[in-house]
Every structure is written in structure tokens, then in C-alpha cells.
Chain A
Amino acid sequence: MAAASSPSFGLLLFLLTSWLSSPGSAFVSDWHHITPSAPVEPHFTKCTSQDQATFSCWWSPGSFHNLSDPGALRVFYKKRIVDAPTENEWKECPEYFHSRRECFFDRNHTSIWTPYCLQLRSRDNVTYFNTDDCFSVENIVRPDPPVALNWTCLNVSPSGLTYDIMVTWEPPASADVRMGWMSIVYEVQYREKNSTTWETMEVQLQPETEQTIYGLHVDKVYEVHIRCRMKAFTKFGDFSESVFVQVSRSPNKDAFSLLTLVIVLGVVAAVILIMWVVVSQQHRLMVILLPPVPAPKIKGVDPELLKKGKLDELNFILSGGGLVGGPTYSPDFYQDEPWVEFIEVDVKDPDTGEKEDNQASDTERLLGGSQSSGHRDGCSTAFSFPDDGGDSERPYASNDPDEDGAVLTSTLLPGQPDDREASLYVDSEQIERPPAHSQSGVPQTWVTTDFYAQVSNVMPFGGVVLSPGQQLRTQEGGPASNEDAKKGKKDCEEEKKQKERQFQLLDLEPDGDSSTPPYCSMPDESCQPSEPRPNEAYQSPYVSPDSPQAQLFAPVADYTVVQELDSQRSVLLDPPPVQSAPLCLSQHPLKSLPAMPVGYVTPDLQGTFSP
């Protein structure tokens, strides 16, 4: 095929035919090509059919005004059926409407699927004919507009601002849709009343005679109209009459929306108010919601010293070095924090009260009888037992266990072997007060004494049973009498639980004796009420410098027995005791030695210990 030649051929033909075609051919197709300057001969302006059963054609005399009289021009048609000779002649229009210059073809004269050609003839047989004025009736069908256009409101949006409508109509009466002679599709157009552009919707879904329009605004007037065409053909009919759609805002909706508006504003105002309160009172709220965790604070001691790495200074201060006299060593560091509760280190008169007597004797026992007096004398400060310091103990009475633990751990300082300090760690459980620093002139024989030890019991023979911080946390009993405190036992289960939470000061021995409770392993044994011998009520290891077989009684996680101190001030620890036998009352407490950390061991110092 000469593909290259086709465009040129087409162009040539186009030029030729465009020169030849007359303006009258415009009505059949939608394509115009008018030369207004040339004289316009009579031609057909329009041929349409409404029902595909009849059709009409209108003509115009053009610029030949002498032919404008009725009857001056006649219409002839011819059906282009080549093989039917009788049809191959020009016939005159079956029905004229001269007033309208219309030629009407009724049903009997209308054939579908058949090409028609029309021509105009004047009286003197001048023929005005254009070969392009041929058509088939189904191609010129323009259906009548649909009838009975109506709308119903489907729903209104929850906001009350938009709504949906359903538009319904019926096919035009002239189009025999029921019979199936014509298949019609519709097109709906709508717009706001004062707008100039129409929204168009082609009706696609079944049923074909209704269409939903979504999203119309309340209180606006809309205009809707519709037209139709034959399916698979392109010519639309005229538009129907417009219907106007309007939905007014319901007062119910007004009240409802007003209510919602008020509620929303109220909520917003409340939120703003709460935020303002929070911001303005944030400091106070912070205190209430997030109470500050008391860092180790010793009254009179610079908190800086309590930080890591300053053990020497602290020990020096606490041991009374450099200062003689009262507990207040330095200006108050915590004046601006009235809620700060201090660990108070008081100098107590050993003869103040029988409890103190008891305590004194206990102290003696703790320190070893012969040395008790020396201990007393040598001390610039000593332990003050809880009953003395009702004031001192009270601040801590309501501490939560965590705080106790923190305080407790902070008070465990590494011992200063040169200072020969021994710290007595009073069982918080017994005495209802936090452990206090003790400045005791630990006898030199106490090589292995440390700054703190938890005293869990005082034996009748004078020995002190120390436990590795088992009762640190428990303050639930509240302030109690000294005897009760000594004797009283907390709930074993609680203790055991708290044991888990203990700060692991020393984890020197990997041996897993952590399961060994400091008390009797038999829970019932340890949970018994106060023993006849309060001093024996506690199952705490008892530090005895003489006991070579110091065993690590406490769970390894908490304590390890410090056997001796190195020259380099490193603590030599014994292996933990492997015994899990209950250290009950019957046992000699001497058998079980506590793990007595000497002084205050910080976690980072643990590494320096050699077991």
C-alpha cells in the first residue's frame, strides 16, 4: 500500500471537496464551513427526528428572497435504495408546513437504516441540491426532553451543611423506550442559581431514570435540568425545564450545632485553663508529682563530698577530723530545702534513759565488751539510737523503701583502716531509723571492721548479730519501741522481696548463695513473733574479728565478708559461705559471720576488691 501517498491524496481530496461543498451540508453533521460573503442559495437548515419514526426538515431560501414565498420552493426526496427501482425517483414532500418552512415525513414515509437525500426545487425547476445532504434517520434523532423531572432529599450530612438529593424523571412520551425501539441515555446538569457553569453528570447506572446528586449546600438554590440522546449516537435533544432545589437549614440543627459549639468552646477553655495552671504552678506540681529523691545528705556535710570519689574527705569529716564539737560541721548546705531530711549524727549521752542503757550495752556488745568504754570514750560521736532521736527517727519513719535503700547504701562507706573506724549499722527494722554513721573508735583489733554493718540482733552474751542490710527498707512497722524494733520482725515475704531490691553493694563473690536468706531459710522460722530473747531474734551474721572462719552469710549480692584490709586499702574478702542452713536461733551466731563491708563501698570500688 502506498502509505506515503495516502496523506497527500487525502489532502488533495480535502481541498477539492471543500471547494465544492456548499454551506447547506452543515446541518447533517456538526461541522460548519460557512462563507457568509457568497450568496447563499436555498438550503436545508435542519432535519431532525424525535422518535425515530418520523422526521422533519426545515429549509431556508438563503439570500434568494424572491423564493421566500410559500410554495416557491418544493422539497423532493429520494431514498437511496439502489436495487429498488420504484424508490429511485425523486418524490415530493408528503406534508408541508409552509408557515414554518417545514417538510414533515410521517411514519409511512419514514424508513430507518435507509439513506435519504433531499433537494429543493423552485418553480422553474431550478434544483438546489447538495450531495452531502443525505442522511439516515437514526443518525438525526434528537429525542425530546425527559418529562416529570422531580427531586427528593435523600439525607443531610451530620454537620447540617450539605445534603444529597435524588433526581427522577421519565422518558419522553414520544420515545418508545418500552418497546425497545429507542434506547436512551440521559444527561443531568445542575448549577447554583447565579452561577454560569453547569455541572454535568451522565447517567450511567441502572436504573436509567434516576440520578443522585451529592454534596449540595444548604440554603443555596440549585437549578437542575436534563436532556437525552440515543445510545451510541451523539446528538442530544433539548434540555427540559429546570427545577429548583433548595433545602433550608433546620432549626433543630441550629440548636444542635449551637450546643456542640458551646461544648467545644467549653472544653477548649478548660484545657487552656488547666494548662495555665500547670504552667504557673509547675514547680509545686513537680514537687507533688515527682518528689525529689533525696540524695545522700548529711547535715552539715557538703553534698559535694557525698559524690563519687570523695570518700576520703567524707570519712575525714565524719570521723570528726578537723572539727571538734557538735554535729554541725559546716554551714548548712540545705537551708533552702526545708524538706530535706538528714541523717543526723548526734552525740548521745549513754546514760540518758534505760533504753539508752540498753543501747549502750548493745553498743558495747556490738563493739566487744572490753572495748565498749574505750569505744565510747574514743568517740567523738557515737550512735544514737532511735529512741533518743525521736526527732531524728521520725523524718525517716515515713520514708519509702527506696529512699531508705538509697540512704542506706550511701552510708556504707569504705572503711579507713588507718582511722580504725567501725561503723555500726543499726538495723532499720529494729530501731526504726536509718542507719547512722558511727564514729567509733574501733579498736585496732578490728582490722576488718568496716564503717557500717547492719545489726540485726544483739546476742545475750554480748555479741552483735549483724546482717547484711536485710532490714534496710522496711519501715512499714512505723516507729516502734526499741525492744520491738529489735525484736520485731517484718514480714518475711516482704523482706525477701526487698532483698531482691537491695542495692548490690558488693558483688564480689560470684558464688551463688544469693538464695540464702539472711534469716532462717525456713520462712516460718524467720517469721515468728518476737523471740523470748530479743537479741537472738535476728539472724544476722556477727562480726567477730577473731573468727577466722568468717563466712559470707548474707546473700552475695549484698555483702561479702571482709576479711582483712590490704596495705593498699583494698578489702580482702572471704569467699561467701556456702551453707544454706538456717541460721536459726539455735545456732551460734558466731558461726555465721556477716559480710561486713568496711566503710562505704561504692560500686566502682568493687572492682578493686580481691576476693
Chain B
Amino acid sequence: MTARQEALWAVLLWPCLLSTSFLLECTDQDQVIHPYCLSISQDKLLDRVMQHVELIFRVSEESCSLFEDIFVPFPLRLQRNQEAYACFTKAIPIPNSIGEVQQMSDKWLLHSVLMLVQSWIEPLVYLQTTLDHYDGAPEMLLNKTKWMSDKLISLEHGVVVLIKKMLNEGLLTTSFSDQGLFRYDMQTDMVESVMRDYILLSCFKKDSHKMAVFLKLLKCRHTDNANCA
């Protein structure tokens, strides 16, 4: 077909494209939440996002324990709380005490969640590659890591849509992960590599816990505002 004919087809068919995009029904919880999927209700979307985060949190806890049991000897297990191994996301300005969290606005809560999600997409991909290099990494661990990585991407979409619905904001164009918080260098030392990955997993567990708490607070505010302190 000539270019003119193709253009003609595109012109004629664009209403169909538009209508199909609006007809997209976000019913499957596991499917990637399409950015253009706007037909879902806000409450349902919030519930779905919350479930996503809870699930990711649970899987991250399982992955962390699994990694700890297999690769980390006993004496090194407490080092995750030490200074040298602080999480890289500490740079993100998110309040940590209950008092401050309760005073956070919805917008701040949602943006915090979005920032956390976006900043963890890349490190999880990295984690997959390093885990493949370990000898004796169980299949389950690799599967869980892969699963978390995939879910995080769909979670990002969901939070974006949620922000758009709740806050009536436009789609965010800048991704927080561009700021390059996460730096990694290839460690040749095995122990160091193990420790770094260990810290990475525990930090991810912590941050997913944080996200879960934030979203629960958001949910509480939208269902029963009076008792949410």
C-alpha cells in the first residue's frame, strides 16, 4: 500500500482506537494496569494497588529470609542495621515517625509511594542478574525476584493512575529513577557481593513495608476518615 493509503486508513480508524482505549476494562488484577485504563473506580483501584503492595511486601520478606538462610552466615546477619549498609533510599525525603506520617497529606503519601516504586525498579533488575551468578541460588529465589520486578512495573502504572484519579494530576513524566540513587559497582569479592545483595533485599523489604503502611493509611482516610487519627 502506498503511504497515502496508509494514512487514509489511520485517519479512518483512529476513532476505533480511541474507543477501544476507553473500553479497556481493568478487571484482571494481575494484568498490567494500562495507563489509559480509566474505567476503573477509584476505590477499586486503591484496593488493587494496596493488594499489589501487600503481596510485594510478603514476597520480599520471603526472598530476604531465603537469601539470609542460604547465603548469609549467622554473625553477619545483624550487619544490615549498621551504618555502612544503610539503604540507598534514605535520601528520599519520607517521614519515618508515626506522628509525621499521620500528618502527611494524601498527595505526599501517594508521591512517596510513587518515588519508592520508581527507585526500586532498576535495583531489582540488577538483583536478578547478580543472583543468577551465584552458585546454588534456588529456583524459588530467582522466581520471586523476577516476580517482584514485574509486579513493581505494574504497580508503578497503578499508582500513576491512582494519582491521576485521586489528585487529578497529569501523568508524571519524570521518573525518579533517573536521579540515579542506586549505584552499583561490580564487586569481585564474594562476601561483599553477598552482603550488598543481602542489604538490598532487606532494604527493599523495609521500603515495601513502608509503602504498605502508607497505602493503608490512605485507604483508612478514604473510608473512615474520623478514626484515622
Contacts and interface: CB of A to CB of B under 8 A. Distances in A.
Given A179-B229, A183-B216, A112 B98 contact: yes
Contacts of B90: 81-83
A179 B213 CA distance: 9
A112 B95 CA distance: 9
Interface stretch (A17-25, A151-159, A318-326, A462-470): A17-25
Interface in A158-212: 176, 178-181, 183
Contacts of A335: none
A388 B61 CA distance: 111
Contacts of A180: 213, 215-217, 219-220
Interface in B197-218: 205-207, 209-210, 212-213, 215-217
Nearest to B97: A111
B13 interface: no
Interface in A529-559: none
Nearest to B100: A111
Interface in B92-140: 96-99, 102, 133-135
Interface in B55-96: 57-58, 61, 73-78, 81-83, 86, 90-91, 96
B63 to A, nearest CB: 11
B81 A13 contact: no
B209 A14 contact: no
Contacts of A2: 190
Contact of B75 (A3, A13, A112, A135): A13
B167 interface: no
A364 interface: no
A82 B82 CA distance: 10
Nearest to A231: B58
B97 A135 contact: no
B191 interface: yes
A397 to B, nearest CB: 88
B177 interface: no
Given A131-B82, A178-B227, A107 B190 contact: no
Contacts of A567: none
Interface string B172-210: 000000000000000000110110000000000111011
A9 interface: yes
Given A1-B134, A134-B78, A178 B228 contact: yes
B99 A29 contact: no
Nearest to A11: B73
B98 A53 contact: yes
Contacts of B76: 13-14, 17
A13 B73 contact: yes
Interface in A256-289: none
A29 B77 contact: yes
A3 B61 contact: no
A224 B169 CA distance: 52
Contacts of B206: 113, 136, 138
A14 B96 contact: no
A6 B73 CA distance: 11
Given A80-B81, A108-B97, A138-B206, A1 B193 contact: yes
Given A3-B135, A181-B217, A134 B99 contact: no
B97 A10 contact: no
A112 B97 contact: yes
Question: For this complex, into which size category does the number of interface residues on chain A fall?
Answer: 35 or more
A444 interface: no
A232 interface: yes
A132 B82 CA distance: 8
A163 B172 CA distance: 59
B160 to A, nearest CB: 22
A330 interface: no
Given A178-B227, A179-B228, A82 B216 contact: no
Interface string A583-596: 00000000000000
Contacts of B193: 1
A136 B203 CA distance: 11
Contacts of B212: 183
A63 to B, nearest CB: 24
A398 interface: no
Nearest to B65: A234
B215 to A, nearest CB: 8
Contact of B98 (A1, A5, A9, A52): A52
B97 A179 contact: no
Interface in A88-144: 107-108, 110-115, 117, 131-132, 134-136, 138
A25 B76 CA distance: 12
A181 B194 contact: no
Nearest to A18: B75
Interface in A9-66: 9-11, 13-14, 17-18, 21, 25, 28-29, 31, 52-53
A14 B75 CA distance: 6
Nearest to B130: A1
A232 B57 contact: yes
Contact of A132 (B57, B78, B209): B78
A31 B78 CA distance: 11
A13 B71 CA distance: 13
Contacts of A31: 74
A110 to B, nearest CB: 6
Interface in B24-80: 57-58, 61, 73-78
Nearest to B86: A82
Contact of A138 (B194, B209, B216, B219): B209
B77 A115 contact: no
A376 to B, nearest CB: 110
Given A6-B190, A82-B83, A181-B98, A21 B75 contact: yes
B103 to A, nearest CB: 12
Contacts of B228: 178-179
B141 to A, nearest CB: 16
B209 A80 contact: no
Nearest to A51: B98
A3 B133 CA distance: 9
Contacts of B77: 29
Contacts of A28: 78, 81
A181 B82 CA distance: 25
A187 B139 CA distance: 31
Interface string A399-436: 00000000000000000000000000000000000000
Q: Which of A2, A83, A112, A231 has the most CB of B within 10 A?
A: A112
10 contacts: A6-B191, A10-B73, A83-B90, A112-B97, A115-B81, A117-B82, A136-B206, A138-B209, A178-B224, A179-B220
Interface of B: 57-58, 61, 73-78, 81-83, 86, 90-91, 96-99, 102, 133-135, 190-191, 193-194, 205-207, 209-210, 212-213, 215-217, 219-220, 224, 227-229
Interface of A: 1-3, 5-6, 9-11, 13-14, 17-18, 21, 25, 28-29, 31, 52-53, 80-83, 107-108, 110-115, 117, 131-132, 134-136, 138, 176, 178-181, 183, 231-233
Given A113-B209, A115-B86, A178-B228, 17 more contacts: A6-B191, A9-B191, A10-B191, A13-B73, A28-B78, A29-B78, A81-B86, A111-B96, A113-B210, A115-B83, A136-B206, A176-B229, A179-B217, A179-B228, A179-B229, A231-B58, A232-B57
